Structure 1
Amino acid sequence: MNTFLDYFFIIFHGGLVIFNLTGWAWRRTRRIHLLTIGLTVLSWFGIGIFYGWGYCPCTDWHWQVKHELGATHLPNSYVKYYVDRLTGLSWDSLLVDAVVLTLGVLAFVLSSWLNIRDHRSQR
């Protein structure tokens, strides 16, 4: 079951990250994008007050599964883990976190602005 969950999180969480970065670009996905990126930012800065800045429940759950599968020394960042894994390099965690934060906030701002613009144009 843990192997299935590991693959599930790879697909689901990876897809969520990609959608959070790009979902603002299409009018049909903008509302759901605003919801997902809003929940992501709320998790990073809201729940993050209690669990650490940038907290993501998907990462937490996935890392629990990976620990059950025997993984050790997992970084705090899901993106760092997979960028390291995909490139074979060990990326600086502060750099990865800065890029993730910048792109995440940019996606949130773009989504908010485009949703407001779309709402105004419909009236």
Structure 2
Amino acid sequence: MRISAPVYALLNGLLHAIHLGVIAFAVWGWVSPALRPAHLALMLLILGSWFVLGRWWGIGYCPLSDWHSKLKAAAGGGRPAGSYIHQVLTTLLRRTVDATAVDRLTLYGTLALTALSIALNVKAWLA
């Protein structure tokens, strides 16, 4: 099923905003003590998606990326190569970026942010 250009533009922009918002909260959500429980929940959902859902759809599976790819396909485009973060960096930097390096940095950063979130939440729960 093909979708019209205006509908694609609206949905594409909406998915970009949601995806970038999730990424921004994953990176910075731990800063506010009031948001730390929500941040920890998000980090666990991300890791669960990557490694639990990933058992069926491939390690690193992200429903937002999947929906975005399906939207692009419905608009007549192909499935983008690499992760969403890789696509954004390639677009922003206007040059080829090593997809494997981006995926590794994304994984290590996510694990570090999850560990930080766990530590901050446990500290608050024990206080």
Q: Hey, which bits of structure 1, 4+ residues long, moved more than 4 A?
A: none
One-letter amino acid of the counterpart of residue 116, structure 2: L
For residue 34 of structure 1, the aligned residue among 37, 40, 56 is 40
CA contact (8 A) 1:44 1:56 kept: yes
User: Shift of the alpha carbon at 1:28?
Assistant: 1.1
Aligned residues: 121
Among 41, 58, 66, the residue aligned to 2:64: 58
**TM-score for both structures, normalised by structure 1:** 0.93
Among all aligned residue pairs of Structure 1 and Structure 2, give the percentage whose two residues are the same amino acid. 29
Give 5+ residue unaligned stretches, structure 1. Answer: none
Inter-partner Cα distance in structure 1 for 2:78 and 2:105:
25
CA contact (8 A) 2:40 2:117 kept: yes
**Deviation of the 1:80 alpha carbon:** 0.4
**What value does the CA root-mean-square deviation take over the aligned residues?**
1.1
Structure 1 distance, partners of 2:98, 2:10, is 30
Q: Cα gap change, 1:62/1:73 in structure 2, threshold over 3 Å: closer, same or farther? A: closer
Helix, strand or coil for the counterpart of 2:61?
coil
* Residue 75 (structure 1) shift: 1.6
Secondary structure of 2:110 counterpart: helix
Q: TM-score, normalised by structure 2?
A: 0.91
Q: Is 1:7 aligned to 2:13, yes or no?
A: yes
Q: Which has the higher contact order (CA 8 A, sep 6+)?
A: 1
Distance 2:71 2:118 in 1: 34
